[in-house]
Amino acid sequence: MRDLIIIKFGGSSITFKSESPPKINEDVIKNAVEDITSYKGNVLLVLGGGAHGHQAAYKYGYGNDTTPKKKLLQGIPEIRHNMSLLSSRVEHIFWEKHHKAVIINPFSFVLMKDGKISSFPMDIIRRALEADLIVITHGDVCFDESRGASILSGDVIITHLAKELGVSRVLLGTNVDGVFTEDPKVDPKAELITEITAQNRNTVLRAAKSSSGTDVTGGMSLKLQELLNLAEEGIEVVIFNLNASHRLEKVLKGENVPCTRFNL
């Protein structure tokens, strides 16, 4: 494997998260896929749930501890169907740009327990990357040994895979420039925090709220907690705006653009 990088296409960017039925943001995906063309190493792409994952998950009571097991299990087909549609569309756009991408969906091999990963075999993903394929995986619903089923968020997948694969760079695209002093979708005076350090990490964590769209996995707040974990291990982590045209290309090239970097 050469210079393996993990990139997240945040669901808030690649779908219209507040629109129902779920709709894909084709322009953002096409732009982002083009940007990836400029990168010469191996790419592992993680798609967030966006409108496709979160709306169906919410409908069947995910994110609410009192939901009966039966109802959670009933939600599996709809969540899976929506995530298959979203990931197939992304795969198709890679194909249009002559890139060999494959989808590896967590539902078919990851197990959870109490909402956490209990088994996540790595051999297939590893082999696919070694074969120089672009791997697309995504937030998904997975069987859970205690709850019946749980949502495995894209952000949690990223933390897990970055550690397992020894990745040195993780880039997370979302629909805002990075982490702000307040939710920028709610407070227009919010300011971008360009660097998260040991000094400001707790203040930053307090400022990170859920999401302005439907998000059963904690929005910016849980995302940050996951990422702090990675940054502490010395992995380079950047949160940037995937909706800004060709921002991903600039981030990949290390150019100085608005974003949040971790320096712990």
Which of residues 56, 82, 219, 252 is near ligand ATP by CB under 6 A? 219
Pairing of strands 111-113, 116-119: antiparallel
Residue 55 found at the interface with ligand ATP (CB under 6 A): no
Which of 144, 215 has the CB closer to Mg ion? 215
DSSP class per residue in 71-137:
HHHHTHHHHHHHHHHHHHHHHHHHHHTT--EEE--GGGT-EEETTEEEE---HHHHHHHHTTPEEEE
Interface stretch with ligand ATP, choices 127-135, 163-171, 216-224, 229-237 (CB under 6 A):
216-224
Which of residues 22, 75, 106, 184 is near ligand ATP by CB under 6 A? 184
Among candidates 194, 160, 189, 174, which has minimal Cα distance to 247?
174
Q: Counting runs of H as helices and runs of E as strands, what totals does the chain give?
A: 10, 14
Q: Rounded to the nearest whole angstrom, what is the least distance from the CB of residue 234 to ligand ATP in the complex?
A: 23
Give the C-alpha separation, 139 to 17, whole Å: 14
Question: In the range 235-254, which residues lie near ligand ATP by CB under 6 A?
Answer: none
Which of 144, 226 has the CB closer to ligand ATP? 226
Residue 10 found at the interface with ligand ATP (CB under 6 A): yes
Which of 101, 152 has the CB closer to ligand ATP? 152
Give the C-alpha separation, 136 to 148, whole Å: 25
Q: Rounded to the nearest whole angstrom, what is the least distance from the CB of residue 212 to Mg ion in the complex?
A: 11
Residue 89 found at the interface with ligand ATP (CB under 6 A): no
Q: ∠ CA(125), CA(48), CA(247), 5° rounding? A: 100
Which of residues 29, 35, 48, 136 is near ligand ATP by CB under 6 A? 48
Which of residues 215, 241, 243, 262 is near Mg ion by CB under 5 A? 215
**Do the Cβ atoms of 170 and 235 come closer than 8 Å?**
yes
Q: Rounded to the nearest whole angstrom, what is the least distance from the CB of residue 96 to ligand ATP in the complex?
A: 23
Give the C-alpha separation, 142 to 245, whole Å: 33
Contacts of 218 (CB under 8 A, 6+ apart): 153, 210, 211
Positions that interact with Mg ion (CB under 5 A): 215
Positions that interact with ligand ATP (CB under 6 A): 10-13, 48-50, 54, 154, 174-176, 179-180, 182-185, 207-209, 211-213, 215, 217, 219-220, 223
